[in-house]
């Protein structure tokens, strides 16, 4: 029985924790969540996190998925935030919480309280970018001691962005971390992103940048040739409209995620009633 599943019994007190013979740390987690849930504020059901650049395609993609859920959600950008890599210091062994002091703690606490996590990152040299990796190193190293997995049972959606459009390496990386944290993967999506070369000021005259993967050197950079969530593969004039605009696809993923959450809630409520009777 995972911590997530047991959370639905929190309003019954610790009797259930005793029934399932939980370790003390698991009892603490349940009681901690119970106290937080009784403060009268609306629960953020879904946390969306972007490890990409601010106001770029990764951020747009995550926000579109969140919009599609129709649920209470919060978007968090890791851009500009200090997320140090895991030091393997073992400071988290005592209570399964990372002890390094930076912006990570506030974000992970929100993830603990949410029912689902939507995470997106860009492809840097055929792997997830360093900030995304640093975040999940901290999540997974701290969240596994003594077989306690604080994110176990939560729903997850994966969003990958790549200048070439090939986000598979990023999807594989995030899958590795989601599986390690025991997050259930509901959906995944990969879209084309905007090379930084489009905004550096010299990209259209740089022979080694990403711009030349799409256009000849010297091509004038205009808005209509810059990739975005609604303008995929602008260098391919024959691309069908539904493949060029991925906004609705992203929203559909959000809708599916919401349906999965609602269905699971219903099943849990039925299970709880049977247990009670």
pLDDT, tens digit, for every residue of 231-263?
999 999 999 988 999 999 999 999 999 999 999
Region 43-193+246-276: CATH code: 3.40.50.360
Which residues are 120's β-sheet partners? Answer: 50, 159
Residue from 116, 105, 18 nearest 66 by CA: 116
pLDDT value at 15 more than 80: no
Of 58, 106, 110, 101, which Cα lies nearest the Cα of 79? 58
Q: pLDDT per residue over 98-119, tens digit each?
A: 999 999 999 999 999 999 999 9
- pLDDT tens, position by position, 166-203: 999 999 999 999 999 999 999 999 999 999 999 999 99
Query: Would you say 261 and 116 are in contact if contact means Cβ atoms under 8 Å apart?
Result: yes
C-alpha span between 215 and 206 (Å, rounded): 11
Please state the pTM of the whole predicted model. Answer: 0.83
């Amino acid at each position: 029985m995972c911590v997530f599943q047991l959370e639905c019994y929190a309003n019954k007190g610790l009797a259930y924790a005793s029934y399932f013979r939980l370790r003390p740390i698991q009892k603490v987690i349940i009681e901690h969540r119970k106290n937080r849930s009784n403060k009268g504020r609306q629960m953020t059901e879904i946390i969306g996190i972007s490890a990409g650049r601010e106001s770029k395609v990764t951020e747009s993609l995550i926000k579109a998925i969140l919009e599609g859920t129709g649920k209470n959600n919060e978007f968090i950008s890791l851009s500009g935030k200090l997320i140090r890599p895991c030091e393997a210091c073992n400071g988290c062994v005592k209570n399964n919480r990372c002890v390094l002091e930076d912006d990570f703690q506030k974000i992970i606490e929100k993830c603990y309280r949410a029912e689902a996590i939507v995470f997106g990152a860009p492809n840097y040299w055929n792997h997830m970018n360093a900030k995304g990796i640093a975040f999940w190193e901290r999540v997974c190293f701290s969240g596994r001691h003594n077989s306690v997995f604080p994110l176990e049972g939560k729903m997850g959606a994966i969003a990958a962005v790549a200048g070439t459009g090939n986000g598979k390496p990023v999807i594989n990386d995030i899958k590795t971390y989601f599986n390690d944290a025991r997050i259930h993967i509901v959906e995944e999506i990969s879209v084309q992103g905007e090379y930084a070369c489009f905004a550096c000021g010299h990209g259209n005259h740089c022979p080694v940048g990403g711009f030349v993967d799409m256009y000849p050197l010297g091509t004038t950079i205009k808005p209509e040739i810059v990739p975005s969530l609604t303008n995929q593969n602008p260098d391919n004039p024959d691309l069908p409209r539904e493949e060029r605009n991925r906004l609705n696809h992203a929203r559909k993923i959000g809708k599916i995620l919401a349906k999965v959450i609602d269905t699971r809630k219903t099943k849990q409520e039925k299970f709880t009633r049977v247990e009670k009777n």
